[in-house]
């Protein structure tokens, strides 16, 4: 079975002590993960070492960065490079979240540079794609997300692309409480997989984990994750509440 992943995206939320408490509460429940399951906590940069040490004894639990800069190093005050993240022993990083695309004008080309730097530094990128409401209403969402994949990922070799995790996050569902239906999620995930298959072949496409993101909660995770092409979720708001996120982890395909 493909790797099934519950990924928490804390965004710019929680003070350090609150983050530590949240991790304690989740990890104290001792949810044992199977070999094909993973839990990833994407925390603010200053919390990475704390999160890494919290999960260090737990099988298949990982800490992740939420972003990295698109240049290797240099005069970019306030920024954090993939190499720095790697030097902390962190091996996951979200790339291309819609909030970065919107508020920091990150283009598909810039995201391709971030993906390259992650891979050069042994970091697995969690690459986000997804359409805005206008695009969904115009019915052009399939072409839109295909272009996002093409322009940010399709320069990679098969070996490189096989280590990328994809998160499909329709922007109209992020933080809105409006979730894609299971039909919409499954249809898009199957489409993404077919786009990858078109470039790299079926075998590779069938190995890649594609997560759904957009108002995943304890009460809808099981249904969404049960779709054949949905391999878990990238979770914002509900990942800040231990009881919610615990239930979301429990909803991964067994």
- Given the rule CB under 6 A, which residues bind ligand PEP? 9, 11, 169, 174-175, 213-216, 234-238
Q: Indicate the residue among 37 and 215 with the shorter CB distance to ligand PEP.
A: 215
Q: Indicate the residue among 19 and 237 with the shorter CB distance to ligand PEP.
A: 237
d(CA 126, CA 124): 7
Q: With contact defined as beta carbons under 8 Å apart, do 153 and 205 qualify?
A: no
d(CA 68, CA 90): 12
d(CA 162, CA 209): 9
Q: Which of 62, 69, 97, 189 is catalytic?
A: 97
Q: Indicate the residue among 48 and 128 with the shorter CB distance to ligand PEP.
A: 128
| 233: three-class secondary structure by DSSP | strand
The two tokens of residue 253 are 């395909």
* Residue 79 known to be catalytic: no
Backbone φ and ψ of 128, nearest 5° = -95, 140
* Residue 36 known to be catalytic: no
Burial class (CB in 10 A: 0-12, 13-18, 19+), 101: buried
Q: Indicate the residue among 200 and 213 with the shorter CB distance to ligand PEP.
A: 213
Q: Which of 54, 99, 131, 169 is catalytic?
A: 169
Q: How far is the CB of 203 from ligand PEP (least distance, A)?
A: 29
DSSP state of 2: P
Q: How far is the CB of 9 from ligand PEP (least distance, A)?
A: 4
Q: With contact defined as beta carbons under 8 Å apart, do 239 and 26 qualify?
A: no
Q: Indicate the residue among 200 and 239 with the shorter CB distance to ligand PEP.
A: 239
The two tokens of residue 168 are 């499909």
d(CA 251, CA 42): 19
The two tokens of residue 113 are 């540079």
* Start-end of H helices in the chain: 16-28, 48-55, 82-87, 98-103, 108-120, 133-138, 141-153, 158-161, 182-200, 202-205, 221-225, 242-250
Q: Indicate the residue among 196 and 235 with the shorter CB distance to ligand PEP.
A: 235
Which residues does the annotation mark as catalytic?
A: 97, 169
């Amino acid at each position: 079975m493909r790797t099934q992943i519950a990924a928490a995206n804390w965004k710019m939320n929680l003070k350090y002590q609150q983050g530590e408490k949240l991790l304690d509460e989740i990890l104290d429940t001792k949810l044992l993960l199977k070999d094909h399951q993973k839990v990833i906590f994407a925390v603010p940069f200053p919390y990475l070492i704390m999160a890494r040490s919290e999960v260090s004894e737990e099988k298949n639990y990982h800490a992740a960065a939420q972003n990295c800069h698109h240049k290797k190093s240099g005069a970019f005050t306030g920024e954090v490079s993939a190499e720095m993240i790697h030097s902390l022993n962190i091996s996951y990083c979200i790339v291309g979240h819609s909030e970065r695309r919107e508020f920091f004008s990150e283009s598909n080309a810039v995201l391709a540079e971030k993906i390259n730097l992650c891979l050069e530094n042994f970091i697995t990128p969690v690459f986000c794609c997804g359409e805005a409401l206008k695009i969904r209403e115009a019915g052009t969402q399939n072409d839109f997300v295909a272009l996002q994949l093409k322009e940010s990922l399709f320069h990679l070799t098969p070996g490189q692309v096989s280590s990328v995790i994809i998160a499909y996050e329709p922007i109209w569902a992020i933080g809105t409480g409006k979730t894609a239906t299971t039909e919409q999620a499954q249809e898009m995930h199957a489409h993404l997989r077919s786009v990858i298959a078109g470039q790299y072949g079926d075998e590779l496409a069938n190995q890649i984990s594609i997560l759904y993101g957009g108002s995943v909660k304890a009460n809808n995770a099981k249904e969404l994750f049960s779709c054949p092409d949905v391999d878990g979720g990238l979770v914002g708001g509900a990942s800040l509440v231990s009881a919610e996120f615990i239930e979301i982890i429990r909803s991964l395909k067994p």
